[in-house]
A and B are shown apart, each in its own frame.
Chain A
Amino acid sequence: MMLDCKRTWEAEAVRDGRLTERERHSFEAHAQRCADCSRERQRLIALGELLRASVPPSDEVTLRRMRQSAMERADAELCKRSGPSFGGWRLAAALVAGAALASLLLVFVGGGSQRRPDSFVHVTGIGEGAHWTRAQSDGRESVHLGEGVFRVVVQRAEDDPRVVVHVPEGRIEDIGTVFEVSVHGGRTTQIRVESGAVLFHRDGLPTLRLSAGTVWRAEPAPAARALAPAAPASPPPAADVPDSAAAPPANRTAAAPRKHPNEHARPLATQPAEQSMPEEDRTYLRVLALLRDGRRAEARLLAADYLRQFPNGFRRPEIERIATLTEP
């Protein structure tokens, strides 16, 4: 249907909230006199009414069945979390209620505990003004953080798409975790990892691996540093700054040599930012592969190399044992 008036597009714009109040009043006044615009507005209203009227009614039987299933899954989930002291007694009470129902619950709960975890990525903005967008392409889920504080929960299986969170300086690659990112004034100011681990790839800087309990904080911006009073001498910076009592593995010492002493996280050896596996993990896996192939002498040499490159390495105790292996 051809429309002569050049303002018919405004009918949709008004409906979608794209116009200012002044523009909306202007269009409303115009539509009173213009048959094309009035017709377009009516067509949009009719389409919305048709869509709403065509919604199938709720089916009570289906809803009741779904509710029972949902409550069973919720019980199973909560039992998994809290253990026998909480959920187990509720479950036991349900079992006593009837043998047939009890057997159904046993089967269901057993099945539920073996169910493959539901994979998802969930971003929550904390406080007002946080904004972000998401996209999926090339087998990868990408989240672009704007300004604000965000909590990111990722649950994924090994064969699920990689999850990458883009921040101003680079990107944070999730390895299956819960973490919080603060972005202010176009800079990433803090990353706090609650569980799991992430890789923080920064343009032109070494990649950081941040594990559970780690808090990475950026240096204040240069202008802020200039205005701030001279800070007292600080203690030797730790390889990680745990945010809670869950301390990082004990093999990390405070005297680790670091390339970036002002950053409170353990840096990896320099590597191209686009590589997803850190060099430390790669070296460790090569050591294991050599051992599996029976090449113990080579494994010992590579283990010694690992200890030199990564004196604070995550696998240090294991690699130390391999480095001292003798020939059989």
Chain B
Amino acid sequence: MGATVTTAKWHALRSTAGDGALLARVAQGDTAAFGALYDHYAPGLLRFARRLEPQDAEDIVQTTFLRALRLAASFDAQAPSARSWLFAIAAHVAQERKRTVRRWTAALLRLSEQPRRIAPATSDARFDLDRALAQLSVAKRTVLVLAEVEGFACEEIASMLEIPIGTVWTRLHHARRELRRLHEEGEP
């Protein structure tokens, strides 16, 4: 199955092979390369997915990597980083989840197969912000998290989400305004 790749080993893998070369190896069936990619990007993608759809975050991450495995052959083998590509896939997966009822079935299956997980304790401030963030639309939440938490530039976000950059700016503006109103002033 492959042991977890340590940070040192990851850098060793990537120093001689950027993400593009790793994905080329994944496309050839190299599960070690897939494991290395997973170890490096899964934590960040899980953090991102939890911001978009907390109930489906794990499914979103798993689907993202499975899709990346299927699309690995189409990724530029010369590209140094697959970060924006993977986050783009995750954003699309999250949006598709919202449009189907499949996640409700998966949630029921998860309840029957796995022990109940206890949510980590959160401070009041984080809970209020989480609640405010959850009230934004998925579209606004996605661009806000990609820009403010994950640090992507607006041009990157436009490319990742396949929308005009003007749409990214508009959504960011409305997301910030709504989040401020919901969080600072406590208004619905």
Q: Which residues of A contact B (CB under 8 A)?
A: 12, 16-18, 43-44, 47-48, 50-52, 54-59, 62-64, 66-75, 77-78, 81-82, 86-87, 90, 94, 118-120, 122-124, 131-136, 143, 151, 153, 155
Contact = CB atoms under 8 A, between A and B. Distances in A.
A52 B148 CA distance: 7
B56 to A, nearest CB: 13
Interface of B: 1-2, 4, 29, 31, 34-35, 38-39, 42-43, 46-47, 50-51, 58, 61-63, 65-67, 69-71, 74-75, 89, 92-93, 96, 99, 117, 120, 122, 125-126, 129-130, 133, 144-145, 147-149, 153-155, 159, 161-164, 168-169, 172-173, 176, 179-180
B92 A51 contact: no
A266 B108 CA distance: 48
Contacts of B173: 12
4 closest Cβ pairs, A-B complex: A134-B162, A48-B148, A54-B126, A58-B43
B125 A54 contact: yes
Contacts of A48: 148
B154 A66 contact: no
A71 B147 contact: no
B38 A67 contact: yes
Contact of B96 (A55, A56, A63, A119): A119
Given A63-B43, A68-B1, 19 more contacts: A12-B173, A16-B147, A16-B169, A50-B129, A51-B129, A66-B58, A66-B62, A67-B35, A70-B62, A70-B66, A71-B38, A74-B31, A75-B1, A78-B29, A118-B63, A122-B92, A124-B71, A133-B164, A153-B70
Given A66-B58, A68-B1, A82-B29, A74 B69 contact: yes
A57 B43 CA distance: 9
Given A54-B129, A63-B43, A66-B58, A71 B176 contact: no
B29 A71 contact: no
A133 B159 CA distance: 8
Nearest to B180: A47
A55 B66 contact: no
A16 B154 contact: yes
B163 A122 contact: no
Contacts of B154: 16-18
Contacts of B120: 56-57, 59
Contacts of B169: 16, 18
A90 B154 CA distance: 43
A188 to B, nearest CB: 19
A54 B176 contact: no
Which of A63, A73, A74, A136 has most B Cβ within 10 Å? A74
Nearest to A49: B148
A43 B181 CA distance: 13
Contacts of A74: 31, 34, 65-66, 69
A87 B58 CA distance: 26
A186 B74 CA distance: 25
Contact of A71 (B35, B47, B161): B35
